[in-house]
Amino acid sequence: MSDGTRGKVDSSSEEENPFTKHSVSVQSMAETGGEIGHEQKGNARHRVRIISRRVRLCDPDNLVGGCKFLIDSLRLARIIPEDNPQSLALEVAQEKVGSFSKEETWVEITVL
């Protein structure tokens, strides 16, 4: 028997969004820098934070390795300039959740 809520987001949930404290505006990498005090237009360092919320936590090497396609896609989409250590600070973490319906991946990109 179904209660009709499958696949719907419960907006009344009291669960805290891990990124609400650090929200930023969305900008193309071409728009970064160039403001007063930012002489290196387009060469700013980016931070990519990825949080994987999972029922079964995975090995740390699999978690980080599994992010390769996402990072490469961000670069190809020109959201981040490069994926080398000079251009990118990468933070990857995972959190355990109680059910498969709560599994999700959060991605936050900021210009440092």
Residue in the structure block whose two tokens are 């109680």:
98
Q: Flag the least confident range among 2-6, 44-48, 62-66, 108-112.
A: 2-6
Q: Which of 106, 80, 92, 86 is nearest to 23 (CA)?
A: 106
The position carrying tokens 């990468």 is 90
pLDDT at residue 27, rounded to an integer: 54
Pairing of β 88-96 and β 46-54 = parallel
Q: Where are the domains of the chain?
A: 53-112
pLDDT grade for 6, boundaries at 50, 70 and 90: low
pLDDT in tens, 29-41: 545 554 444 444 5
Question: What does the pLDDT look like over 63-102, one tens digit per residue?
Answer: 999 999 999 999 999 999 999 999 999 999 999 999 999 9
Query: What pLDDT score does 112 carry?
Result: 86
